Amino acid sequence: MSAGPAPLQTLLVGQSGGGTPVINASLAGVIAEAQAQGVTQVLGMRYGIRGLLEEQFVDLSALTAQDLSRLARTPSAALGLCRHKLTLDTTLAAATILRRRRIDALLYIGGNDSAETTLALGQAVAAAGGAVACIGIPKTIDNDLPAMDHTPGYGSAARWVAAVARDLGLDAWAMQREEQVRILEVYGRDTGWLAAASVLARDTAADAPHLVLVPERPFLEDTFLTAVERQVARAGFCSIVVGEMLRDADGGLVGSGDAAWRDAFGHAETRRPGAYLRDLIQQRLRLRAKDDRPGSIQKVVADDASGVDRQEAWELGRAAVRAAVAGESERIVTLHRLGDAPYRVDYRLAPLTAVAGKVRPLPAEFLGADGQPNAAFVRYARPLIGEPLPERWRLAGRT
């Protein structure tokens, strides 16, 4: 009879990329499950993979259940973050540190770039004859990772965007005699998942936002201006949500800004499409327009985070530990949807190669012929934002 995998003595966990309202819930889930599995020591690396290269570790083994509960409700990343791309030399150096420090498992919480890092480390360790279980734990408010139904962080950010889009729409109605167009620019990088979420608080098709612009559909200037003009003529105002990486018919970024700047993984700087649309509307249509760009607020507001999102993030952390204990490596834990009525998921494993460096766009079936998020998208996304949003009372349309 096989003795099975050796028990884990030392587990190392890190966080990478951008923060989310629930990334710390995954960290708390890792620690809780490691304690339950009898892992001797849980170490956290400070500032992601940089902390591994610099051997900046913090011992998390003795955190209490009360500590973990508070950690799970804390936004951004308690261990610190980075966007550091490994080279061949630093990959080999990191693998050497893992072996020398006798790390049995490396769990890395992040997006597609972090999956790439985890995969490179797993391959380097295996090539050197080591036995470190390298497991990825997904997170990103952008919801753009392949091989899974959705990502932790998206549900909470989607909830926030939906609430803000609705409330800005009410203000846009109130201000229509002074400002006829209101524009909200949201995160999402190369995909429109987050911008699409702005429709989730609408009660009727006439509610704000009236136009949602996503990078999956090319921005056509004249078509857009016609739609804005018609909406203002019909209702007196127009509420617009735009994703930060809006693209034209040639694939170029729409807007103004430093498009030449790229991060370590080659991602372009956003070009401020909201400001561009504001100026375009004012110059071409002679309507007063205002743009709002909340920026990092979208990924750190945790007080009204989705309870569904937080629980799933916690469970993914636990599932990653179980995968490491079972001897898995070069894998990422994933969410798989079992049903919508009631909403149910389970937790599975996928190869890191399915996620590393890859992007999942908003699928065509979630957009109508007009390019707007449709009922299929709402059915997909609404369970992820958790409990119903607080109701608002509308005088608009009643008189």
Q: Tell me the whole-structure pTM to 2 decimals.
A: 0.94
Task: Please give the positions annotated as active site.
Answer: 142
**pLDDT at res. 398:** 42
pLDDT band of residue 168 (cuts 50, 70, 90) is very high
pLDDT band of residue 175 (cuts 50, 70, 90) is very high
Task: Kindly report the number of other CB atoms within 10 A of residue 396's CB atom.
Answer: 18
**pLDDT at res. 7:** 78
Beta bridge partners of 240: 183, 211
Residue-wise pLDDT tens digits, 108-152: 999 999 999 999 999 999 998 889 999 999 999 999 999 999 999
Q: Can you list the domains of the chain with their CATH numbers?
A: 10-152+305-354 (3.40.50.450), 158-302+361-385 (3.40.50.460)
- Give the separation between CA 105 and CA 43, rounded to whole angstroms: 10
- Give the separation between CA 42 and CA 320, rounded to whole angstroms: 13
Beta strands in the chain (DSSP E): 10-15, 41-45, 57-59, 105-110, 133-138, 181-186, 211-213, 238-243, 289-292, 331-340, 343-351
Residue-wise pLDDT tens digits, 314-340: 999 999 999 999 999 999 999 999 999
- Tell me the percentage of the chain whose pLDDT exceeds 70: 93
Helix, strand or coil, per DSSP, at residue 176: coil
**pLDDT at res. 265:** 57
**pLDDT at res. 263:** 58
pLDDT band of residue 241 (cuts 50, 70, 90) is very high
| Interval 144-163 mean pLDDT | 97
**pLDDT at res. 6:** 64
Residue-wise pLDDT tens digits, 283-309: 999 999 999 999 899 888 888 899 999
Structure tokens given for 116 = 């790439």
- Looking at per-residue confidence, does 364 or 395 come out higher? 364
Helix, strand or coil, per DSSP, at residue 316: helix
- Give the separation between CA 290 and CA 309, rounded to whole angstroms: 32
Please tell me the least confidently modeled range out of 50-59, 61-70, 254-263. 254-263
Please tell me the least confidently modeled range out of 39-53, 207-221, 294-308, 366-380. 294-308
- Give the separation between CA 24 and CA 69, rounded to whole angstroms: 10
**pLDDT at res. 1:** 41
Which residues contact residue 275 at a Cβ distance below 8 angstroms, ignoring those fewer than 6 apart? Answer: 185, 255, 256, 291, 293
Is the pLDDT at 25 greater than 90? The verdict is yes
| Interval 83-98 mean pLDDT | 94
